[in-house]
Chains A and B, each alone.
Chain A
Amino acid sequence: MSSLLAKRKSASGPGHWGQTTHLLGTIAPGILWIVFFLVLPSFYLMSIAFMSNGPYGLPELPLTLQSFRELAGFGFLGWSPGNLYTLARSVWQTLIATVLVILIAYPLAYYISTQPASRRPLMLLIVVVPSWTNQVIRAFGWMNIMSPDAPLSDLAASAGLISSEMGLFPSNFAVVLGLVYNFLPFMVLPLYASFERLDGEIVQAAHDLYARPINVFRHSILPQTLPGLMAGTVLVSIPAFGMYVIPELLGGGKSMMVGNLVASQFAEASNWPLGAAAALIMILATLGGLMVLRRLGQRLGGGKEVVL
């Protein structure tokens, strides 16, 4: 079929030479833009990770693995676990936030899918619109709510959760809350899409067989919404791991995530190679996470592709 089309093209169209020009003319500009302004810069950044740190924090030759040693905590003053804690904290907070988002989004997506079809687009819009505002503003809103003299902090203080002169932020709690807030819509949308296609008869059959609610969920609802769940997990956990704004504003120094570690090496601390090494770890972790989720999706989905 395609060879037939190709023959017709060469008979009536601009010919082989023209077709190559056309191919390059359409594909090359966009791809070259991305290659030149994104792929090359990221290779440059990765190469910095293997350079030495010069006197002004700028990278210099010779090539070395020093920055990876520093990232693992070996500095002038002996070993300190600070950077490793930051890495572990990033993974941990991403996991907690993702689980919380799933727990919040499941009933919500289901509820929306049970509403009359004419109302659903508006309900989805209502869930999504807050995430269209700038993330700095959203984090700022939470700073206001959780500041030391705000009612919510007073409430937490009187319940004995925090001491009275402290606010709820900066803290790990505030960072996780910020992550959940930020990424909730990214889970609701794909889950809703799965619920919309859900075959109610399978669920009904499970009910008819007197399955306990937990088993109804496990054997009839979960398998059917798995594609949405996996897509949502990718959309939430991957960007949450690389988050910079929320830990910076809501977390403070003790709740840094790896993105803040990277940024601080390029700003205050001025150690480009160390920052680049951390960035390289971030890229690898992101790709690794994508692969794990893909595998997980295949296993849970019985060998079918459910992610990407």
Chain B
Amino acid sequence: MKRANFRRGLRAWWYIVLFFLYAPLAIVVLFSFNSTRTYSTFQGFSLEWYFKLFANETIVSAIYNSLTLAIVSSILATVLGAVLGYGMFRYRHLKLGWLIWFIYLPLVMPDIVYGISQMTFFVQIHEATGLLKPGLLTMIIAHISFQIPFVALLVYSRLLQLDPLLFEATQDLYATPWQRAWYFIIPTLQAALISAFFLSFTLSIDDFVISFFTAGPESTTLPIFIWSAIKKGITPEINAISTLMIGAVFTAAAISYAIQRARLASNPSRK
């Protein structure tokens, strides 16, 4: 009897927390379809804010900037991080443990300190040399520096799972390092590299603080646009653009879940 109550309580708790987790997102989505500007009441369904959205050039260029930033930084970070992860794996018998601090540093450093130290540094370099003007380039550099550790750790842990004999086999076959990379390492790591790319992409799209401090006047991304729109005074267009971003995240989550399920179904022995 007591046990049953306990179970019912847990179940209720699950639904309460779900409500808590989804309420703020649901409000944003709901009011993006509101026909008036108020937040207290829902006056009627309308797509007005979505039409305004795509007529707004600032928003369209913010979408473009966000995507450019995420794609370019993720490609470069995947390459740099994968090479680093491979190096960490190959030379793990050397005493390179201290290197791990460079990997952990970006992970534990508060975002705000991260963004501001890069901002001050880029500003000084720009004043001294004229290079690295705040803009998309500095943002890409900043994003790569926090994406590298995630990629490196992902690739490193995947390599640890491989049979070490495989590496000896490539040596026994007199493969040159390039052949070994091309015919063995890259194909084996394919899945890890793809997930590293998408992880980097998500990290980049999700980031606000570091982008905000390394951005220039012409490199406004979507989160920065939303931020300044909130600061200036709330407009319903923010609800609409936020709803599109929420929709993108949920679509991506659904796709990745479907892929995982399919993989499990086709390969039930691997749990």
Q: Name B40's contact: one of A40, A107, A150 (CB within 8 Å).
A: A150
Say whether A26 contacts B86, CB under 8 Å. yes
In the complex, per-residue mask of A104-148: 1 if CB is within 8 Å of any chain B CB, else 0: 100110111010000001100111011011111110111111010
Interface membership of A241, Cβ < 8 A: yes
Say how far B175's CB is from chain A's closest CB, in angstroms. 10
In the complex, per-residue mask of A39-53: 1 if CB is within 8 Å of any chain B CB, else 0: 111101100100000
Q: Name A263's contact: one of B18, B116, B227 (CB within 8 Å).
A: B116
Closest to B82 in A: A30
Q: Name B144's contact: one of A33, A44, A133 (CB within 8 Å).
A: A33
Closest to A132 in B: B249
- For window 21-35 of A, CB contacts with B under 8 Å fall at 22-23, 25-27, 29-31, 33-35
State A111–B223 Cα separation when bound (angstroms).
Answer: 35
Say whether A282 contacts B110, CB under 8 Å. yes
State A145–B168 Cα separation when bound (angstroms).
Answer: 60
Say whether B105 contacts A39, CB under 8 Å. yes
Interface membership of A219, Cβ < 8 A: no
- For window 85-141 of B, CB contacts with A under 8 Å fall at 86-88, 90-91, 93-94, 96, 99, 102-103, 105-106, 108-114, 116-122, 124, 141
State A104–B177 Cα separation when bound (angstroms).
Answer: 51
Chain B residues with CB below 8 A from A283, complex form: 109-110, 113
Chain B residues with CB below 8 A from A282, complex form: 110, 112-113
Q: Name A108's contact: one of B13, B83, B109 (CB within 8 Å).
A: B13
Closest to A12 in B: B171
State A31–B81 Cα separation when bound (angstroms).
Answer: 9
Chain B residues with CB below 8 A from A186, complex form: none
In the complex, per-residue mask of A279-307: 1 if CB is within 8 Å of any chain B CB, else 0: 10011001100100000000000000000
Say whether B38 contacts A129, CB under 8 Å. no
Say how far A273's CB is from chain B's closest CB, in angstroms. 11
In the complex, per-residue mask of A6-38: 1 if CB is within 8 Å of any chain B CB, else 0: 001100111000000011011101110111011
Chain A residues with CB below 8 A from B116, complex form: 45, 262-263, 266, 275, 279
Which of B22, B103, B145 has the largest number of chain A CB atoms within 10 A?
Answer: B145
Q: Name B145's contact: one of A33, A127, A147, A276 (CB within 8 Å).
A: A33
Interface membership of A149, Cβ < 8 A: yes
Say whether A34 contacts B230, CB under 8 Å. no
Interface membership of B250, Cβ < 8 A: yes
- Take A181-B21, A275-B116 as given contacts and tell me if A134 and B245 are in contact as well, using a CB distance cutoff of 8 Å: yes
Say whether A107 contacts B13, CB under 8 Å. yes
State A33–B117 Cα separation when bound (angstroms).
Answer: 15
Closest to B81 in A: A30
In the complex, per-residue mask of B210-225: 1 if CB is within 8 Å of any chain A CB, else 0: 0001000000001100
Q: Name B24's contact: one of A144, A149, A241, A275 (CB within 8 Å).
A: A144
State A13–B173 Cα separation when bound (angstroms).
Answer: 11
- For window 251-267 of B, CB contacts with A under 8 Å fall at 252-253, 257, 260
Interface membership of B184, Cβ < 8 A: no
Interface membership of B67, Cβ < 8 A: no
In the complex, per-residue mask of A75-105: 1 if CB is within 8 Å of any chain B CB, else 0: 0000000000000000000000000000010
Q: Name A286's contact: one of B25, B110, B118, B144 (CB within 8 Å).
A: B110
Q: Name A39's contact: one of B80, B84, B102 (CB within 8 Å).
A: B102
Q: Name B206's contact: one of A31, A132, A249 (CB within 8 Å).
A: A132
Which of A31, A41, A263 has the largest number of chain B CB atoms within 10 A?
Answer: A41
Say how far A174's CB is from chain B's closest CB, in angstroms. 12
Chain B residues with CB below 8 A from A31, complex form: 84, 99, 102
Closest to A107 in B: B13
Closest to B6 in A: A213
Q: Name B102's contact: one of A35, A110, A138, A238 (CB within 8 Å).
A: A35
Say whether A279 contacts B24, CB under 8 Å. no
Chain A residues with CB below 8 A from B59, complex form: none
Using CB atoms and an 8 Å cutoff, list the residues of chain B in contact with chain A: 9-11, 13-14, 17-18, 20-25, 27-28, 31, 38-40, 80-81, 83-84, 86-88, 90-91, 93-94, 96, 99, 102-103, 105-106, 108-114, 116-122, 124, 141-142, 144-146, 148-149, 152, 168, 171-172, 174, 177, 202, 205-206, 208-209, 213, 222-223, 226-227, 230, 234, 238, 242, 245-246, 249-250, 252-253, 257, 260
